[in-house]
Structure 1
C-alpha cells in the first residue's frame, strides 16, 4: 500500500532506537524525508547509518538535542524550523515505588515526556495550519489508561499526553491537520529489552521465563501474551501520519495486544 508520504518532511523525536527508530525507518521506506533525534551525536549518527543501510527511498538526517529542556527544543527548532509530520516519541520510564519518588523525579518526567511534545507541537502546528496539512502524533502508552503501580509518575505523563493531543486536535477543525495518540502496550524496545535481560540475569533464568512471568502477573489481560515488536507499533504510527488517515483526528489508537479491557 502506498501511504502517499513521498516528499513529506517528518521529525521523529527519541528515534535512535526502539519505536522511534522503527518509525523513522518506516517513514523513510515510504519516501518521506526524516529527521532523527537523540541526545548524543554518536547515537544519532549510528541511527542514520542504520536506516541508510536499509537502502530505502527517502532521505534521513539527524539532530542531537536534549528535548527534556526548553533550550534543547529551541536548538532543534533552530535547525529544523518546519515539518509536515511530528512524532512526539521521546520519553523515559523507570520503575520506582510511589513512596520513593521525589519531587525532582516528578518534574523530570513531566519535562521530558510531556513538555517536549508541548513545545514542539506549539511550534510546528502553526506551519501545518498555514499550509493546510499536517500530522502530529503523541506516542503515549497503555499505561495512560491503566496506571502501573510500579511507575505512577510515568503513567501520569502518558495520561497527560492523551489530554494534550485531544485538546490540540480540537483546535484543528477544518485545517487539514490531525493530532492523534498511539498507545503501545508492552513492547520489545531497547529499554525494555535491557530491563528484561538484566532481570533474567539477576534471577539466573532465561529471559523467556521473565517475559512469561511478566504477562502472568503484571499484564495478565494481554491477549497476545508477549511483547509487541517496535515494527508493529511503528506501522500504526506511520499510517496515522499519512494522508490515508485523514478522517482520524483526536483519537487514541491502541497497539497494546489487548491489554486494555475495553470495547472503545
Structure 2
C-alpha cells in the first residue's frame, strides 16, 4: 500500500516522493493514523479498509469546501486512493499549537462568519457523507424541521432499530421533532457538522478545523455540538454571539440538536451512550 501512497503523492505534488520515516499516531477510532516524511515534506495519512474509500473522498470534498468558504486554516487534501486491501487519504501536515490557547474569540468570530453566508436556499447537501464512520444522508428539503427530524434523528433511530434496539417509537418521535422545530425560522448555513473540541485547534494562533461532516442547516447545530462533550471557553461563545447572536429559544432546541451526536455515539459505541440517548429522549418528551 505504501508504494501506492508514495506514487499518488508524487503525482499530486509533481515531484518524486518516497517516505523515509513513518510514525503511527494515536487514533480515536478504527482508522490508523500516520505521519510520513521524506526528510523535507511531511504528510498526515489516514488508513482504513478499502470499503472506506467513499468516506475519505467525502472528507476531501468537505475540506475543499471549507477552504473555499471559511476563514479557518483547513488542511489541504493531497490525494485519496486505495490498494487491494486498504483505502487512504493523505492530508497536508499541520502542527497544532499546544493547549491551552488564548485565541478562542477568533475561533468564535470565524465560525460566525461562515454561518453568516446564506448562499443556499434549501437544507441538505449535494451528496450523502459521514459523521465519524456513520453514513449521513443529506437529501434536500425545503423545511428545516422535516430535514432534521427525518435525515438526522429518524435515520439514527432506524440504524438502532436494525441492531434490534428500540429507544422510542420512531414514527412518533420523528413527528414530535418536526412539531418541536416547526415554528423555528432558519436560513441555511454551511455547517462543519461535527464541531467539537477534538476536531479543531490552532496553528501559529490561527484557528483550524478538520474532520468535517458538512451540510447546509441550522447554525445552532454547530454551537450545540460544541457544548456537548467538552464545552469551549466562554470567549468563543461571546465572540460568536457578538457577530451573530443566537435566536430566542436556542436553549430548548439545543437538547434536540445534541441528541443527534448522542444517538450517533450510541450506534457506534453502544454502552452508556444508549442510556444517555434514552435519557435525552425522555427529557425532550416531558
TM (normalized to structure 1)?
A: 0.29
- The higher-RCO structure (CA 8 Å, 6+ apart) is 1
TM-score (normalised: structure 2):
0.27
Say which one has the larger Rg.
Answer: 2
